[in-house]
Amino acid sequence: MSPSMNEQPAEPQAHGVRITAQPGHATITIGGTPLPLNIVTGYAVQHDIAGGLPLVVLHTRQPDGVAFEGLARVAVGVSQTPGELVAAFLAEVDPEILDQQALNRADYGGGPGATARAMLQTLTEWAKGGGR
């Protein structure tokens, strides 16, 4: 039984997604069905490993007169400055783990600024998705 428009599904629906991309062109298939050519103008893939399935956001070009009716999960993005993003990232850092990992780095050199340099290198790796 499918939910009515006023009901929210118990679980978000997962669909098989395949993206084949090259500069200037992407072919996107959802659930084995390719999307029409030139309808997708861009896409973003987000994945929080601890959070489960990735999220794929498609940016589409809609012909005149197209309307959407059905269930959808809606998220409103809030723009953040680079400083706000960095501050939010740093607020999640456990100082004890940072201290341990920075001091145990194989490339920890010593000398003036060595600990700060090791911490900055560790934070940079974390920001790029490496360990924590």
pLDDT digits (tens, 9 = 90+) for 9-39: 445 567 788 888 888 888 888 888 888 887 7
The distance of Cα 95 from the centroid of its chain, to the nearest Å, equals 24
Count CA within 13 A, CB hemisphere, residue 14.
Answer: 5
Query: pTM for the complete prediction?
Result: 0.42
pLDDT at residue number 12? 54
pLDDT at 114 over 50: yes
